[in-house]
Structure 1
Amino acid sequence: MPAQSLIDRFRAGTERLTGARPDPDRRLGLAVSGGPDSLALLALAAEAYPGAVAAATVDHGLRPEAADEARHVAAICRRLDVPHTILAPEEPIGGNIQSAARAARYALLEAWREDEGLGWIATAHHADDQLETILMRLMRGSGVDGLSAIRPVNGAVIRPLLGMRKAELVAHAAARGLEAMADPSNADPAFDRVRVREALHGFPDFDPERLARSTGALLETSAALGWMVEREAREQIAASDGYVELRRTDYPQELLRRLALVAIGRVDPAALPQGPALDRLFERLRQGRKASIGRILVEPLAAGIWRFSLAPPRRTG
C-alpha cells in the first residue's frame, strides 16, 4: 500500500477519535516502546502532524536492556524532530507483572500528558491486537463489556491504528529505516497473548473494518446496557442506614447482574465479585435463602426485594 495512503488513513482515524486536528497548542502524545508497531505510530504521527506531537517511552525497570531501548527510541525521535521523554515508575513492579506494568504505564503516561499539556495519548494497538484480545477474552468467559475488547477511545487514550494490520505497520517503519527493538516477552509462551498469536499463525486474512463493526456493535450494546442500568438504579436502588435495597429483581439476567453490582458497590466500593460468584448468589436468593458475597450479606425480602449490607463480624474463639 502506498505510504501516503497509510498516512491519510492515520490522519483520518486520529481526527475521528479526537474530534480535532492536533496542533502545536494541543499536541498528540505517543506511547512508543521501540517495537515495530509503535515506531510506525511515531513515523505516521510525525509525518501527519509535524510540530504537533511528542513521544514518551516507559522503562518499567523489569529488564536490563530496557534502558538502552528507551535511549534508542530517543535517538529516533531526535532524527524525526519529535520531543521525547523517558518515564519510569518510582516503585518496583510486583505482583502480576503484566497487569501491574500496564497499570504503571498508563499512570505514568497520563501524568506526563498532564504535565506537558497534551491533548491525547495515542497507543499503537492495531487490528491484529484486537483479534487476539477478543479470542483471549472469549476463552476467559468474558461478557459484553469484555468482548468490546480494545476500545478506540478510553479517556484521553486513543488507538488510531485499530483499523490497520500489523504487517502494513511493520512495512511502514521498515521503509523509513526505523530499526525496531525486540521485547523477549513478546515471544514467551508463558503469556496467554503469545500462545494465541502462535495459534493464529497462518490464519486467513481478515478485514479490520468488519472486525471494527463487530467490536463497535458490542460497545454500543455495552453503552445501552449502562444507560438502562443507570436509569433503573435511580428508581429501584435505595439506601438506608446500614443497608442498600434493590427493590425490583425481575429483570433479564444481564440487567439484574449489573444492578446487583451497583448495589454491592454502594455497600462496599472495594468489592469486585466475578461472574461465577454472582451466579451462585442469585441461585441462593431465588431459593429464598440469604447468601454472602465477599464481605456483603444479601437477604431476599418480600415482594422480590434484595437487601445488601455488610455481614456482621464472624465470632472467634
Structure 2
Amino acid sequence: MLQDALAAAGYPERVLVACSGGPDSLALAAVAAYFARRGHVDGRPVSVGAVVVDHQLQPGSAAVAATTARVLRELGLAPVAVRAVEVAATGMGPEAAARDARHAALEGIADETGAGAILLGHTLDDQAEQVLLGLARGSGTRSLAGMRPARGRLLRPFLGLRRDQTLEICAVEGLDPWHDPSNADPAFARSRTRVEVLPLLEKKLGPGVAESLARTAAILQLDADFLEDVANDTFARLREQSGAEISLPEDALRELAPAVRFRVIAKAAAAVGGQQPSYQRLLAAEALLRRQGSAGPVELPGGVSVYRLSLARLLTAGQSDAAGVPRQGARCGKLVFRPHKPPLI
C-alpha cells in the first residue's frame, strides 16, 4: 500500500511520516522504516523522516511526544522532529481546530526539510467514521466522499487497512503504541461513532459495514470530482467581475442542473471572500432566481450578501443617468455577490 502511494505521488525522494505514537501512525512508521533502511522504493531513492505534533491538549503530552520521537529514531527514521502547536479556540470545534494546527505544522516542516510527501496513518475505519459523521450532519457529496488517498503532499496509504491490522503490525514489530484517551471519550462525536455506533451497526447489520462505507466514499469521490470540475468550468464561464462584486446571469443559472447551480453559487460567494454556505443558505440564495423584481439581500457566511435587481425597480426609483439609462442596469438580470456590506435597493 505504501509502495503504491509513493509510486502514485511520483516517488518523492524525501518523505515525512506524521506519527502521534498511536497504533495506526506507528505501524505506518514501521512500514516506512523498511523502505528507509533499503534506501529506495522500486529502485527510486528515498529517505524517510518523521514529525510528532504535540497539540498540548492533555497532561503529559510532551512526554508522549518525546517517547514517540525516540521510538521513531530507533526505527531508523531521520530526521525526527517534535513540533508543539497552539490549538486556537474557534467555532469549528476542537477536532477541526486541532487538525488545522497539525496540518499547518506538518506542511511547515515539509517545507523546511524539502519533503515531497507527508504520510498520514488514517485507516479504513477512520474513513467509515468520516462517512457516518457526514451522514449525521446532513452533508453533501464532498463530505460523504470522506478523506482522499492523496491531497497535495498528504498521502494516506492505509485507507484500505483495518485498525486491527495496524495493531498486528505493531505487535509483529515489537512496538508498544500509545492509546489516546480522547479516542474513547464520549464527549466527542467521532469517539462515540468509533466506540458505539460502528460496533452497533456491525452487530445489527452484520460484518462488512465499515468496508461498505469506505467503498461508498471511494465511489462518491469520483462523483464529487466530476461535479467539481463541471462547476469550476461553469463558474469561470459565467462570472462577471465589477470591482469587489461578482455577478452571475440569472437565465444561465436557471438552465443549469441543480447540482451544478448550487456549486456555482457557492463558488461565487467564496470568490468574494465568503465561507462555504450551509445548504439552507444556498437554498435561500438560489430562491432569489424565482422572486419577482428586486430581491434580497440574502446573507451568506463570511460577510457576503447576494441579491438581484430588476430593471423596472431601478427605473421607478429614478436611479438613472441623464440619458435615462439605469446606473445599475448592467447588473439587472443577474445575481450579484457583494462582500461585507448589504446592497441598498
> How would you bin the TM-score normalised by the shorter chain?
0.7 to 0.9
1:309 aligns with 2:338: yes
Post-superposition shift, 1:243?
Answer: 3.2
> For this pair of structures, how many residues does the alignment match?
300
1:264 aligns with 2:261: no
The farther-off stretch of 149-158 and 253-262 is 253-262
Q: 1:85 aligns with which of 66, 78, 81?
A: 81
Give a deviation string over 1:76-130, Cα, whole Å, max 9, x none: 12221112110112x4543332221111100001110111111100000010110
Cα contact 1:273–1:293 (8 A) shared by 2 = no
Q: 1:58 aligns with which of 53, 58, 68?
A: 53
Cα contact 2:124–2:160 (8 A) shared by 1 = yes
Aligned pairs for 1:39-78 (under 5 A) are 39-50=26-37, 51=39, 52-78=47-73
Q: CA 1:183–1:226 in 2, change beyond 3 Å: closer, same or farther?
A: same
Give a deviation string over 1:37-77, Cα, whole Å, max 9, x none: 11101111111332521111001111121111111112212
Post-superposition shift, 1:153?
Answer: 0.7
The farther-off stretch of 97-106 and 43-52 is 43-52
The farther-off stretch of 120-129 and 62-71 is 62-71
- TM-score by length of structure 2 reads 0.80
1:10 aligns with 2:10: no
In structure 1, give the amino acid aligned to 2:17: L
Post-superposition shift, 1:10?
Answer: 3.3
The farther-off stretch of 221-230 and 302-311 is 302-311
Matched residues in 2 for 1:113 and 1:179: separation? 27
Q: Which has the larger radius of gyration?
A: 2
Cα contact 2:240–2:248 (8 A) shared by 1 = yes
Aligned pairs for 1:174-189 (under 5 A) are 174-189=171-186
In structure 1, give the amino acid aligned to 2:2: F
Counterpart of 2:110 in 1: which secondary structure? helix
Aligned pairs for 1:1-317 (under 5 A) are 9-12=1-4, 14-20=5-11, 22=12, 26-50=13-37, 51=39, 52-83=47-78, 84-89=80-85, 91=86, 93-95=88-90, 96-197=93-194, 198-201=196-199, 203=202, 204-206=206-208, 213-241=215-243, 243-247=245-249, 248-250=252-254, 251-266=256-271, 268-288=272-292, 289-294=295-300, 295-299=304-308, 301=310, 305-310=334-339, 312=341
Post-superposition shift, 1:238?
Answer: 0.9
In structure 2, give the amino acid aligned to 1:166: R
1:4 aligned partner: none
Counterpart of 2:199 in 1: which secondary structure? coil
Post-superposition shift, 1:265?
Answer: 2.4
Post-superposition shift, 1:217?
Answer: 2.4
In structure 2, give the amino acid aligned to 1:88: A
In structure 2, give the amino acid aligned to 1:141: G
The farther-off stretch of 210-219 and 62-71 is 210-219
Matched residues in 2 for 1:69 and 1:252: separation? 52
Cα contact 1:39–1:173 (8 A) shared by 2 = yes
Cα contact 1:245–1:306 (8 A) shared by 2 = yes
- TM-score by length of structure 1 reads 0.86
Matched residues in 2 for 1:78 and 1:263: separation? 48
In structure 1, give the amino acid aligned to 2:262: R
Q: CA 1:35–1:172 in 2, change beyond 3 Å: closer, same or farther?
A: same
Matched residues in 1 for 2:248 and 2:87: separation? 42
Cα contact 1:29–1:113 (8 A) shared by 2 = yes
Matched residues in 2 for 1:209 and 1:185: separation? 24
Q: CA 1:312–1:196 in 2, change beyond 3 Å: closer, same or farther?
A: closer
Cα contact 2:53–2:82 (8 A) shared by 1 = yes
Counterpart of 2:130 in 1: which secondary structure? helix
In structure 2, give the amino acid aligned to 1:200: L
Q: Any gaps of 5 or more consecutive residues in structure 2?
A: 40-46, 312-331
Counterpart of 1:94 in 2: which secondary structure? coil
2:320 aligned partner: none
What percentage of residue pairs aligned between the two structures are identical?
Answer: 32
Provide the aligned C-alpha RMSD in A. Answer: 2.4
The farther-off stretch of 105-114 and 306-315 is 306-315
Q: Any gaps of 5 or more consecutive residues in structure 1?
A: 1-8
